[in-house]
Structure 1
Amino acid sequence: MRKIKILLFSIITFLLQNTLQAQFGVVSEYTYGGSGFDLAFDMKITTDGGYIMAGYSDSDDDDVTGALGDNDVWVAQTDDAGNLEWEANYGGTGKEVARVIIPSGDGGWVLVGYTASVDGDITDNSGFKDAWVLKIDDVGTLLWQNTFGGELDDVFNNVTATSDGGFLCVGNSNSLTGDLTSNYGGDDVWVVKINADGDMDWQKNYGGSNNDVANAVVEVADGYVFIAETGSNDIDVSGNHHDDLTPFTDFWAVKIETDGDIVWQKCYGGFSHESGRNIIETSDGDFIAIGSAQSSDGDVVGHYGAVNKTDGWVIQIDADGTLLDNQNYGGSFNDNLYSITEDLDGAYVIGGQSNSLDFDITGHHGGGSTADFWVIKINTDLSLDFSVSLGGSEDDVAQAVFPLDAENYIAAGYAKSTDGDVSDHHGVDPNHDFWLVNIGPCSLAITTDPVDVEVCEGQEVTVTVESSPSGALFEWIFVGGPTFTTGTNTLVIDEVTAAYDGDYYVIVSGA
């Protein structure tokens, strides 16, 4: 009886590893909260390798203790394994929300958002919502807090530490009293510079006669650059891509000096809605700004969905605000980008939400009406490196993501799902929980080192790889011979023939 040699070369291992580098999933995940709504809008890595998350909670059970009123600012800190170390509520009997948490520079943390209270931790409120800044120490003790605003709604959406030890807060205001000295119409971008103790150094409004909202800011060598969305095309704003009869918005980037005077301003977008949500400065002095785009004209090319659907949109601009490049990401439904961080290799990792099931999106967990927790990595030329959708059958949203090493990432946001990737959900109905997710490459390995396998012609043979991720397809290729595709990690050849004499390799895809 003729012997057939099936030679397994090390190329198998190479191909498997190469395939899996583009396949990412949940390594570990943790939910935090109670029976109410608990939403994390930001997360940072602590100096000891743990994680601190901030947002709001209206729970008063399970992980949440000491509720003060309606929505409280809620901060939860964990160790590197996701174990809750401490949590704390801040606020009063009204509604409080924290949008961002950043290191204070002395071991503590500074948070910004808004408050509608005038009791509890809040000592003053000028109107409905006041912009709110609070500083806590490394175990959550409130060190100071301050409110800013006027008779209407005033909100801080982001903050950056400044080189003089203070902080620059950005958001929006439609007030004209209290700390405000002007209003151009509707919501203005509002920028407030405070010192290390939370006291105001200066404040300024920016915008036009329609609504203008700042969502992020970075300090540069000679001032600050903020990213916003603007519906205006007058006063401080020029170059908006819509006409005066339509209430649409553009990305709006503005550079200001250290005293707040405008250096330059630029609008980016098309005839429909664009919303700038975050911005970082690159190592070469350019800027990457992210958000969403509905347009398919103007600066926006390659829109995936219908005109009323949003894509994730990334723009690259130079130090003068000139548009260098832009790229859409997503599918046929609504996709939005919220946070961006430079990866360890100089690329960019981005968090957001996706309702799509096609184009850049694979593995969506629900229908087009529900959002997945969406993380993508893009290269410096804005090409897509990887995209991963996580979550379950309800809405799940990524609000922050950071690299842990060359292949693993930590992301945080909130999850409404009680199935799919989400376990141990605390809410009912269900409501949202804080959700912390460690994302990494799917692990797959060859059962043994590459070996020669000799079998007799007509004999049955079984070949296998060690693990089988859900949804993977295995393509078993015999060089110069047959090819098989299976949905499992094992191939059984009932009767070996001469066609199998030679080399074979396996390609794993779709995991």
Structure 2
Amino acid sequence: MQMIKYISAFILLIVSLTALSQPELTYQKVIGGTSNDIATEILQISDNQYVVSGYSRSSDIDLAVNNGLFDLLTFSTDSLGNILWRTTLGGSLDDAATSMLATADGYLLCGFSKSSDGDVLANYGDNDGWLVQLNTDGAAVWQSNLGGSGSDIINDIVAIPSGGYMVVGSTTSTDIDLDGNYGGQDVWVMRIGGGGAVVWSKHFGGSGDDVGRSIIYTNEQYIITGYTFSNDFDVSGNHDATGLTEDVWVLNLDIDGNINWQYCAGGSSGDEGEDLVAINDTLIAVVAESRSLDGDLSGHYGGSTTRDIWVFFMHSDGNFITGHHFGGTDDEVPGSIRLEDSTRLIITGSSESNDIDVSAHFGAVGVSDIWIFQTDTSLTLQWENNFGGTGMEFCSGIVALGDTNYIAIGQTRSTDNQVLLHHGFTLNNDIWFMRLGSFPTPCAPAFTSPLSDVLTCFEDTVSLTAITEPAAQVYEWHFPDGGSVFSNYSNSLVLAPVPAGLDSTYFIVAKSLCGFDTSTIAAFRTDEVIAPSIFPLLSPSLCDSGEVLLHFTPEAGFTYAWYFNGEPIPDASGSSYLATISGDYSVLATRSENCVNFSAPRTVTYETDDAIISFSGPANLCASESVTLSTTLDEDWSYQWFYNGDTLVGAVGAELIVTETGNYSVRITISDSCFSNSITVAVINETPVASIMANGDTDICLTGSVLLNTSVTGIGYSYQWLQNDIPITGATTIGLVTLDTGYFALEISNTFGCSDTSEAIYVFTSCPEDTTTPVGLSPDLESIAMLLYPNPAATTLNMEVTIPGAINLPVRILDLQGREVYLEWMVFNPATTRYQVPVEVLSPGMYILQIPGSSPAPFVKE
């Protein structure tokens, strides 16, 4: 159809309106959880009820259920954004509501579903179009998945006056509910009957991608907007015949899905239709995003890659009338267009600009604010305002309440400026409920009374209340010493239970969009309840007088109750109690319902002091065949001895002769109700089992010595080395280095006088008797004096040796296991008295140096 630009006569009759003052954000509330939550549409049901559609990944805070990835979300709120009911539907994959409309019996949502489980009954493949009918309470009545095995999405829905619905979206399918495809995505339109039954399903477009985003009914026609990359089949007049950029596509259908007319609006740089509204029976307003400055557009604010919001009018017969672009030099994106009255349009979306039509911007470059503006039907900007914080915002829907008051819905990632609260991380969206209008007077909250100190304990439940006039929109509860901040929309905070570590001062910040106030500072004490200590501390006995006075020191703010063997004692709530029965007594201290603690039990008995057991000798049977145990003798007392916890029959005297090892105790009965139990004593029979070993060869012909030692050790053990059954003087350690031959053994004794002697080890020499000394060592050289220094030594050990004649002798170093770690032959003569032995390569420890004719000399290597 040839484009005709004209200004309709009825537009010329519209009187210009004086620009209105811009509405302010007077109230806001975030809705959702700690994951991503998106709103797509808002409907006004009454003065105090609104219904919002969208999709969500959250399952906490305001949203209780998530089936996996995104779920379709619908909820109802009052005029302050308080949730009246909520519904999440979906399966394990992505499911979403893109739009909805109110029906006679509830709400019909459209969108898409990729799931085939959970709440979703079926799936044809990839995304299916999805219709869900809810009743007025948000409960699902019926659902229908539509499309084919490709990707199918429903973006909008409109009621047919004669019954049923018309839906629009996009499809790549060619089967099931679709009979073909022109290429890529096609615009998909379906007429739906009762219960979601398909009356007819058609696809429109060309060989490029074509998407339908919005549909309206007006004057017995169905008008669709979206965008197209095509210029063939159903599409003609695209401003870019190459198919590289898109045009806004406006399509007019009759009730049977036949095309009445189609129009490609825009220029050569890329333009997409988002929403449209009928101003009257013959005038249609379309909102789009546009990068173009030619074709149907006469200008563009930014560069060729930035988008303006473009509003244009079309006649119901398909003729383009006029348009105007709005925004600044950065990106603007539309979300919705609504007819506020017969002469004013309200447009929502987002803006990244701070110039031309956009008067302010909260975020950084490239981060969008919500942008809402009003234009008249001559496309003159009446007012505009941006909303949000330094995060990303977008507005998808709005309801006009009259007198420049609105309720808008969108999403936000901000935590500052006008966004007073945010759930989860800043990369996640919260749904943002907004009231626009004029601030009331007074507006900023003010605290009317100081805070009170709080005394509680961990795990208790505490309710705090902030009193301001007027009420605030958000309250922040600060506990600076405990490092905690709690934020909510209520003027009360319930800590159930009080978390550990919250012992602090606290204060409250009450916030509204027009100001804030900070309360006084008060104490928040979260002590644990200290259990009382019952006196006397030692286990008291009833033996002396038949009664014991138990008592404790009470603290202010507590109530107390005495318990006996875990059960409460009636009417026993004082700081003392007279006990006349043996058992366990305790006290329950109570500050509040969950703020309690029990004392440690105090046991009242009929026992006197512990009986004492004495030994006639060592409690070790190794030194004798028996030991006598005895306790205090009194002819009026009776006795009973126990062996390993069992009663010893007949052992009823004050003495007991023990011949078996084990544990013994005695119980003395002083009177019918008084007795004394001893501690348990052990009788043992422990004798050392001696054994020795030789570290090295027991033939000392070549080594000149051998190290003998033992691994038998114990508390109180003593040692004596024997040579040929004769004690060696001074040989009383666990090791012995011998230069002599013979039979060597070790006697090991304990403190009880019990001992054992090891098997003997024979040390010998294989050298002939006439060569037991090295060759050249005459008998008068067999006694050589030697002195070692420094000791300990680090690198070099000096030997001072006095020798009457020249001789060549081996110098050996042994470790404590008798292993030779160094050997050097040295020439000794009377003219030299000092010789050096290198020890740098030795590991730190104790060693023995040997030369024939001299006693082994120990030294320490550092």
Residue by residue over 1:156-188, the C-alpha shift from the partner in whole angstroms, topping out at 9 and shown as x without a partner, is 010011112211110000111121101000000
Distance 1:388 1:48 in 2: 24
Q: 1:424 to 1:297 in 2, by over 3 A?
A: same
Corresponding letter in the other structure for 1:437: M
2: CA distance, partners of 1:116 / 1:107:
27
Alignment-mate amino acid for residue 297 of structure 2 = V
Q: Helix, strand or coil: the match of 1:23?
A: coil
Q: 1:438 aligns with which of 435, 440, 459?
A: 435
How do residues 305-344 of structure 1 correspond to structure 2 at under 5 angstroms?
A: 305-344=302-341
* Equivalent position SS for 1:150: coil
Determine if contact 2:42/2:399 at 8 Å carries over to the other structure.
Answer: no
1:107, distance to aligned residue in structure 2 (A): 3.4
Once the two structures are superposed, what CA deviation does each residue of 1:375-417 show, in whole Å capped at 9, x if it has no partner?
A: 1101011111111100010110000012111211111011111
Once the two structures are superposed, what CA deviation does each residue of 1:125-179 show, in whole Å capped at 9, x if it has no partner?
1110001010101111000000111111100010011112211110000111121
Select 1:256's aligned residue among 243, 253, 267: 253
- Superposed displacement of residue 27, structure 1: 0.9
Give the superposition deviation at 1:81: 2.2
| Partners of 1:355 and 1:324 in 2: CA distance | 29
Asked if 2 retains the 8 angstrom alpha-carbon contact of 1:40 and 1:413, the reply is: yes
CA distance in 1, matches of 2:426, 2:352: 21
Corresponding residue number in structure 2 for 1:452: none
Q: Is the 8 A contact 2:58 2:65 kept in 1?
A: no
Give the equivalent residue in structure 2 for 1:33: 32
CA distance in 2, matches of 1:19, 1:222: 34
Which residue identity lines up with residue 136 of structure 2 in the other structure? D
Task: Say which is worse superposed, 224-233 or 342-351, in terms of deviation.
Answer: 342-351
Partner SS for 2:195: coil
Could you say if the C-alpha distance between residues 308 and 71 of structure 1 is closer, same or farther in structure 2, counting changes exceeding 3 Å? same
The answer for the alignment partner of 1:64 in structure 2 is 63
What is the deviation of 1:252? 0.7
For 1:24-423, what aligned pairs fall within 5 Å after superposition? 24-104=23-103, 106-244=104-242, 246-344=243-341, 346-423=343-420
Contact preservation (8 Å) 1:107, 1:138: yes
How far, CA to CA, are the matches of 1:58 and 1:242 in structure 2?
A: 39
Residue deviations 1:194-235, cap 9 Å, x none?
013211110100000000000001112333111110000000
Following superposition, the deviation at residue 24 of structure 1 comes to 2.4
Distance 1:235 1:21 in 2: 46
The match for 2:810 is none
CA RMSD of aligned residues (A): 1.7
- 8 Å CA contact 1:374, 1:389 repeated in 2: yes
- For 1:346 and 1:32, the matched residues in 2 are separated by 33
Cα gap change, 1:444/1:269 in structure 2, threshold over 3 Å: closer, same or farther?
Answer: farther
One-letter amino acid of the structure 2 residue matched with residue 258 of structure 1: I
Distance in 1 between the 2:19 and 2:375 partners?
17
Q: Assess if the C-alpha contact under 8 Å between 1:20 and 1:442 holds in 2.
A: no
CA distance in 2 between partners of 1:88 and 1:217 (Å): 25
CA distance in 2: counterparts of 1:208 and 1:196, whole angstroms:
31
**Whole-Å Cα distance in 1 between the matches of residues 425 and 147 of structure 2?**
36
Cα offsets for 1:92-138 (capped at 9, x unmatched): 1110011102102x130011110000012211111100010101011
**Is contact 1:24–1:442 with CA below 8 Å preserved after alignment?**
no
Q: CA deviation at 1:253?
A: 0.7
In structure 2, C-alpha distance between the alignment counterparts of 1:154 and 1:345, rounded to whole Å: 36
Contact 1:33/1:427 (CA < 8 Å) preserved in 2? no
Which residue identity does 2:55 align to in structure 1?
A: Y
User: Do the aligned residues in 2 keep the contact of 1:21 with 1:441 (CA within 8 Å)?
Assistant: no
Structure 2 distance, partners of 1:183, 1:430, is: 38
- Is 1:32–1:433's contact at 8 Å kept on the other side of the alignment? yes
TM-superposition CA deviations, 1:434-487 (whole Å, max 9, x none): 111111145799xxxxxxxxxxxxxxxxxxxxxxxxxxxxxxxxxxxxxxxxxx
Aligned length: 426
Percent identity for Structure 1 against Structure 2: 33
Q: How many angstroms apart in 2 are the aligned matches of 1:37 and 1:259? A: 39
Amino acid at match of 1:265: Q
Separation in 2 of the partners of 1:393 and 1:418?
8
- CA shift, 1:21, in A, is 4.4
Q: Deviations over 1:311-364 (max 9, x none)?
A: 000110001111111000000011011211111363111111111111100121
Counterparts of 1:46 and 1:275, CA distance in 2: 31
Q: Which residue type is aligned with residue 414 of structure 1?
A: Q
Q: CA deviation at 1:19?
A: 11
The runs of 5 or more residues in structure 2 that have no matched partner are 1-16, 443-862
Give the letter aligned to residue 347 of structure 2.
I
Distance 2:216 2:184 in 1: 25
Given that 2:208 and 2:229 are in contact with CA atoms closer than 8 Å, whether structure 1 keeps it comes out as yes
TM-score normalised to structure 2 length:
0.48
Larger Rg, first or second structure (1 or 2): 2
Q: TM-score with structure 1 length normalisation?
A: 0.81
- The structure whose RCO (Cα within 8 Å, separation 6+) is larger is 1
Please report how far the alpha carbon of residue 374 of structure 1 lies from its aligned counterpart in structure 2 after TM superposition: 1.0
Corresponding residue for residue 502 of structure 2: none
Letter in 2 for 1:436: F
Partner-residue secondary structure (3-state), 2:237: coil
Distance 1:368 1:327 in 2: 25
After TM superposition, give the deviation of residue 20 of structure 1 in Å.
10
Structure 1 pair 192–434 and aligned structure 2 pair: CA distance change class (3 A): same
The answer to whether the 8 Å contact 1:50/1:81 transfers is no
Distance change (3 Å), C-alpha of 1:141 and 1:48: farther
Between the aligned partners of 2:399 and 2:343, the Cα distance in structure 1 is 13
Map of 1:466 onto structure 2: none
Aligned to 2:756: none
